[in-house]
A = this chain, B = another copy of it.
Amino acid sequence: MKIAVVAPSCTLKAEAAEQVSALAASRADCELVIHPQCFLSDGHFAGSDGERLSALREVMADESVDAIWFARGGYGSNRIAEAALADISVPGMRKVYLGYSDAGFLLAGLHKAGCEVAHGPMPQDVLREGGEAAVVRSLDWLLSRDRSGVEPSLTYPAQAYNLTVLSSLLGTAVEPDLAGYELLVEEVSEHHYRIDRLMFHITGSANVRNVVELRLGNCSDIPANEPVWGSDEEAIVRDWCQRAGINYGGRAAIGHDAGNRVVPFGRNPRRGPL
C-alpha cells in the first residue's frame, strides 16, 4: 500500500518525518511517501494556500496512492478545504484519508463528498511521549484495517472532531451531515468557559441534535480559569447535552495525546460504489 503524507495546515518537523519513515520502512507492506510540501514554511503554514492546495490535489489525483495521511494539525486546512473538494476526481474518491484536529475540516468535507475517512494519530504525533504506538495504530489501520487501535466503544456509525473545528464547520460548505451518527469530540488548550461556549454552539445546531449520541474524548492542557470554573469538562458536556435533548454516551479514547485512537467514520450513505 502506498501512503502519501501532505500537510494542509502547519509544517511537519523533520525528526517526525524521519521516525515515521523508519517505522514504515520496517514493514513489508508499506510504501510511505512524504511530500516535500510538508517541509515548506510560509508564516503560520506549511507553504502558501496555493502550495498546500496543489500538493493535496496532486496526491488526490495520483492513481498510485492508496491513502492520504495528513502530517499534523495546527491551523489552516479550512483555507483550502472547499477548493480541494470542488473538483474531486475519481482517483481522489477511491482513497482513504486519515488525520484529526485541524485536519477535521478536510475529513468533514471528504466524508460529505463520499470518501472513506478516519480520525487518528498523524506523523507529527510520533514526537509525543509514547507517540510511536500512536502512529503505529494509524499505520495498522491504514495498511490492513486492523481494529486493535480503533476506539473500543464505538456502537454506531461514528464521526470524530475537535470541538473547535466542529464549531467552525457548522453552517459552512463543508459542514458534515451528523444525523444518525455517534459523534465523538475532543479538545486541547481551551479554557473551561470556552468549552462551555463551544458546547452551547454545537448543541444549538439542529444538525448536531440529530446525532444518536455524543461522547467526550480527552480535553487536555486546559488553562486555569480566573475565577475558578467550578465544574469539569464532562459536567459541561452532560449539561449541554441534557439541555438540547442529546443522548450523552460517556467518555471516548480520543484526544491530543498518545492514547488517541482511530475512529473510522461511518460510511456516508451517499457514497457511491467506487
A42, A43, A171, A225: residue with the most chain B Cβ atoms closer than 10 Å: A171
Instruction: Please tell me if A148 contacts chain B, counting CB pairs below 8 Å.
Output: no
Query: Are A42 and B230 in contact, CB atoms less than 8 angstroms apart?
Result: yes
Number of residues of chain A lying within 8 A (CB) of chain B: 33
Q: Which of A124-132, A201-209, A246-254 touches B?
A: A201-209
Partner of A230, one of B43, B173, B193, B225: B43
Partner of A78, one of B200, B207, B228, B230: B200
Query: Are B171 and A171 in contact, CB atoms less than 8 angstroms apart?
Result: yes
Contacting residues, chain B, for A225 (C-beta < 8 A): 44
Query: In the assembly, what is the distance between CA of A172 and CA of B198, in Å?
Result: 12
A169, A200, A227, A229: residue with the most chain B Cβ atoms closer than 10 Å: A200
Contacting residues, chain B, for A201 (C-beta < 8 A): 167-172
Residues A204 and B173 in contact in the complex (CB < 8 Å), given A43-B227, A43-B229, A227-B41: yes
Query: Are B230 and A171 in contact, CB atoms less than 8 angstroms apart?
Result: no
Contacting residues, chain B, for A79 (C-beta < 8 A): 196, 200
A168, A192, A228: residue with the most chain B Cβ atoms closer than 10 Å: A168
Instruction: Please tell me if A145 contacts chain B, counting CB pairs below 8 Å.
Output: no
| CB-defined A-B contacts under 8 Å, sample of 7 | A44-B229, A164-B197, A167-B167, A167-B201, A170-B170, A171-B204, A171-B207
List residues of chain A with CB under 8 Å of any chain B CB: 41-44, 75-76, 78-79, 164, 167-173, 192-193, 196-198, 200-201, 204-207, 225, 227-231
